[in-house]
Chains A and B, each alone.
Chain A
Amino acid sequence: MAKKLLEMHSITKEFAGVKALDNVNITVNEGEIHAVVGENGAGKSTLMNVLSGVHPYGSYSGDIYFDGQLCRFHSIKDSERLGIVIIHQELALVPYLSIGENMFLGNERRRRRGVVDWNETYQKAEEYLKVVGLEENPRTLVKDISVGKQQLVEIAKALAKDVRLLILDEPTSSLNEGDSLKVLNLLLTLKRERGITSILISHKLNEVAYCADRITILRDGSTVETLDKHKDGVTEERIIRGMVGREMTERYPHRPHTIRSEVALEVQDWTVYHELYTERKVVDNVSFKLHKGEVAGIYGLMGSGRTELALSIFGRAYGSRISGTLIKDGQVLELNSVPEAINAGLTYVTEDRKDNGLILGNSIMHNITLPRMDFVAPKGRIDRDLERQTANHYREALDIKAPSVEQLVNNLSGGNQQKVLLAKWIYSKPDILILDEPTRGVDVGAKYEIYQIINDLAKQGKAILLISSELPEILGMCDRIYVMDSGRIIAEFPQSEATQEGIMNCIMQQSKGEIGA
């Protein structure tokens, strides 16, 4: 029987009368990778905040035992002293400081009286970087390295604090598959070679199944069960059943045949250069077609040029030296600004709803009507009653869970925010919707609803371009699939011929070809 490193007993935490955690129990053994999974709002982050002292002792009830000792953390410092380090989803690195400076931030190597010993700092930094498999110079500024490497720097930073229990909150949410795999493998290596225990919080069940020894499932603030990989047969379906409390027989709704013969949008020889580095090609001679009533997919990883392609089509919202032809309903379109694109019936639903999509401090109503104010302002004067009625219509149609449309968007859950984003663009009465990662950061139940909305739109004859880096989503939802890599479309599959292996092979071949050339 493995030694218990951490025990949390009947943890209950309330926010003003609402129980975020209700009698949660979790036990983590020394030297294991323990995954905590649950839908958005199940209480994962709250639990970790209780553990790390963000919610101080006394603000919750229940006991925490670490290494057999009862702990009462009053701040993060207290938990870090025992070797509990949490790495948050939003990376906490300072972009304009060097890797080394970041790693020892708050934990500086000092000579005496607060004078920093830079030699030791950088020497130690280099050591830890080696452990996590980074060959960067520790004097490099953090802003100059990729997000994937930044995540590794975070882990190195934790190691520098003599970590015993490493907590990672969604460590791969902004990484591509290659970098994600690196992070997960690093966790496995650290476990094997240094005996470091980790708690992994993740939405990506394939990753959980890949590296976790045991999995605790939370639902509505309570522990549902703890699965042991070595005893229970742990599959993604099994985890999902625990998370949603029911079997998801279908993660994707049935996609009816709604394709019409008319071509809604045709893009020919589309080439885009980087906005700042105007020498760099980001989209390279791309051509594709969208039919009415069709859901076409673009599969591509981050950095493949998919977002740049979408934005440049959407009224040249990105890029420089754009060339190529846009043909909508048989007519050549010349779009030079976003308003022109919207008026022409194009929409782009961003992958980054917080930064590029929604105005978080505004109400649901104001967010929805923003792209086409003219619909609710017939004579230039906003008809606020009409606006409210319109917004209410979309709130009901898309089942946005909020007490009213006056509700500010930043008080909504991720899934509901995503629905507001969709509502906003459906409201603009488009013929063509470009959906960029429409289910990112959305829980399983809400994902299904969003898929249904997409199917409905196709049924109405809208043409949909679905951009995603989740292969199962692309395979489950699209009638036709384009594969994009390094700014080019490298393959096209009809749904009937597309398989996960086929698409991955296609990308592998491509990168091999590049190395060979």
Chain B
Amino acid sequence: MSSLWTTLRNNLRQYMILLALLAIIIAFQLMTNGTLLKPMNVSNLIFQNAYVVILAVGMLMCILTGGNIDLSVGSVVALIGACAGTFIISWGWNSHLSILLCLLIGLAIGAWQGFWIAYARIPAFIVTLSGMLVFRGLTLIVLGGLTLAPFPSDFLAYSTGYIPDLFPGMSLFGLRNSTSLLIGVLLAIIYCISQMRGWIWRKKKAYEVESPWVLLLKMVIVSAAVIWLFYTLGAYRGVPKVLIIVGIILIAYSYFTTHTVMGRHLYALGGNEKAARLSGVKTTQLLFLAYVNMAFLASIAGIVFTARLNSASPQAGQSFELDAIAACFIGGASAYGGIGTVGGTLIGAMIMGVLNNGMSIMGISSNVQQVVKGLVLLGAVAFDVLGKQRMQLRFLPFFGRRAPKPQESVKLEG
């Protein structure tokens, strides 16, 4: 039980931020007279924010290594878009191979920056600031300052559009796309089964398990949320394809950070680099890979974004890095590294996304929007930092400061 309490306390911040997201959604839902959660708008939200989520996940990996950020991602998004445009539109290359080539270029960019950061030990801030300029400049050179459009449909097919309705005319509950609801129900069932199997397995092995009621509550809430989302999407045109890409990335990286040795090593590296190195963590290699990964995800985001605009523009991706960084920090990542989760980052990105979208619906000018977003970022982090200071005062005396009880192992006399 005490373990459950500690887990709760360690993750308190995550629950708070989730509540904040819900509060923001409800507030905008009311202020926009229900437009925010209309099926079409939910679908829009996903299209608008997919690339931010992808970038933020990569950014989280960099931040985890020790508060290192990557300022170049916006420029990388633009450069990849420019490459794709040149290959496919100007030179008429095969779309699928061009995408593959773009991803390889992304890896090369990551290796370049990773080398300077990890092996030459130049601060990430400086290397990626340089990258920001270099890759933006290369974008302009590649495109010659022009915008390339439009792309052929086989390029767009990967990330734009919807999963088609497999059962047209079925109209479950009057939905336009019943397949969507079926997918949602299927996902909810898979989730519940895996949760229950894990629970039973752990019980059998006599490991610590939560009470069945907590498990049930968790399953009900998550299933309801998933089914609601896919129901809403079904009421419009169905599941956006880009949601699959984002979903796969989220699940893969969430698994990576929580269940793999390398993921754990990433947290150790950010928590205390020297200690991690002396514990056998390959710190240099890990730092290198974090940046390779970042650029790789940035190139995926570049392709997604280019496809969404259906054009490769020299100005694409400007200030994307800031959105991604903000999402991580709002989502609870530590500016010193070692702390942060994929789930938190997703929530952080959603908060930014809902703020953007909600304020736009309300017709608030983009100037004011920037002010609000800036204050939200500061507020979220300040809340975190101040909260921690108070917590320390409250919890330290319990576990740290109090004098240890006399120990039995010491021999007594008299």
Contact surface of A with B, Cβ cutoff 8 Å: 15-18, 20, 38-43, 46, 219-221, 244-250, 314, 317, 337-339, 341-342, 348, 350, 355-363, 366, 370-374, 377, 380-382, 384-385, 388-389, 399, 401-408, 410-413, 415-416, 424, 443-446, 448-449, 452
15 further contact pairs, Cβ within 8 A, besides A15-B394, A41-B403, A370-B264: A15-B393, A39-B403, A220-B403, A244-B406, A246-B412, A249-B413, A339-B282, A359-B275, A360-B271, A362-B271, A380-B261, A411-B399, A411-B400, A413-B404, A445-B406
Contact A373 B265 (CB under 8 A): yes
In the bound assembly, the distance between CA atoms of A463 and B267 in angstroms comes to: 32
Given A362-B267, A443-B404, does the pair A381, B260 have CB atoms closer than 8 Å? Answer: yes
Contact B10 A406 (CB under 8 A): yes
Closest A-B pairs by Cβ, 7 of them: A15-B397, A359-B271, A18-B397, A385-B207, A41-B403, A406-B6, A404-B3
Find residues 234-288 in chain B having any chain A CB closer than 8 Å to their own CB. 258-261, 264-265, 267-268, 271-272, 274-282
Give, as a whole number of angstroms, the nearest-CB distance from A378 to chain B. Answer: 11
Contact surface of B with A, Cβ cutoff 8 Å: 2-3, 5-7, 10, 202, 205, 207-208, 258-261, 264-265, 267-268, 271-272, 274-282, 334, 338-339, 393-404, 406-407, 409-414
Among residues of A, the one whose C-beta sits closest to the C-beta of B267 is A362
Contact B271 A361 (CB under 8 A): yes
Contact B402 A41 (CB under 8 A): yes
Give, as a whole number of angstroms, the nearest-CB distance from B12 to chain A. Answer: 13
Contact B401 A15 (CB under 8 A): yes
Chain B interface main SS type: helix
Contact B272 A350 (CB under 8 A): no
Give, as a whole number of angstroms, the nearest-CB distance from A392 to chain B. Answer: 9
Q: Among B202, B207, B260, B338, which residue has its beta carbon within 8 angstroms of that of A380?
A: B260
Give, as a whole number of angstroms, the nearest-CB distance from A447 to chain B. Answer: 10
Given A357-B278, A361-B339, does the pair A20, B401 have CB atoms closer than 8 Å? Answer: yes
Contact B275 A412 (CB under 8 A): no
Given A20-B397, A406-B10, does the pair A373, B404 have CB atoms closer than 8 Å? Answer: no
Give, as a whole number of angstroms, the nearest-CB distance from A274 to chain B. Answer: 18
Among residues of B, the one whose C-beta sits closest to the C-beta of A369 is B264
Contact B404 A41 (CB under 8 A): yes
Contact B402 A360 (CB under 8 A): no
Given A41-B403, A385-B205, does the pair A350, B278 have CB atoms closer than 8 Å? Answer: yes
Contact A403 B208 (CB under 8 A): no
23 examples of A-B residue contacts, CB within 8 angstroms: A15-B393, A15-B394, A16-B395, A18-B397, A18-B398, A20-B401, A43-B403, A244-B406, A246-B406, A248-B411, A249-B411, A314-B278, A339-B280, A356-B278, A359-B267, A359-B271, A359-B272, A361-B338, A370-B264, A404-B3, A413-B404, A445-B409, A448-B410
Question: Given the complex, which residues of B lie within 8 Å of A448, measured CB to CB?
Answer: 407, 409-410
Question: Given the complex, which residues of B lie within 8 Å of A250, measured CB to CB?
Answer: 411
In the bound assembly, the distance between CA atoms of A8 and B305 in angstroms comes to: 69
Question: Given the complex, which residues of B lie within 8 Å of A338, measured CB to CB?
Answer: 277-280
In the bound assembly, the distance between CA atoms of A17 and B395 in angstroms comes to: 10
Contact A370 B411 (CB under 8 A): no
Contact B268 A362 (CB under 8 A): yes
Q: Among A40, A402, A408, A446, which residue has its beta carbon within 8 angstroms of that of B10?
A: A408
Among residues of A, the one whose C-beta sits closest to the C-beta of B276 is A359
Contact B410 A246 (CB under 8 A): yes
Contact B399 A366 (CB under 8 A): no
Question: Given the complex, which residues of A lie within 8 Å of B258, measured CB to CB?
Answer: 382, 384
Give, as a whole number of angstroms, the nearest-CB distance from A419 to chain B. Answer: 11
In the bound assembly, the distance between CA atoms of A403 and B5 in angstroms comes to: 10
Contact A412 B207 (CB under 8 A): no
Q: Among B205, B275, B395, which residue has its beta carbon within 8 angstroms of that of A411?
A: B395
Give, as a whole number of angstroms, the nearest-CB distance from A130 to chain B. Answer: 38
Contact A381 B397 (CB under 8 A): no
In the bound assembly, the distance between CA atoms of A374 and B404 in angstroms comes to: 34
Q: Among B260, B268, B398, B410, which residue has its beta carbon within 8 angstroms of that of A445?
A: B410
Contact B264 A219 (CB under 8 A): no
Give, as a whole number of angstroms, the nearest-CB distance from B27 to chain A. Answer: 33
Contact A356 B274 (CB under 8 A): yes
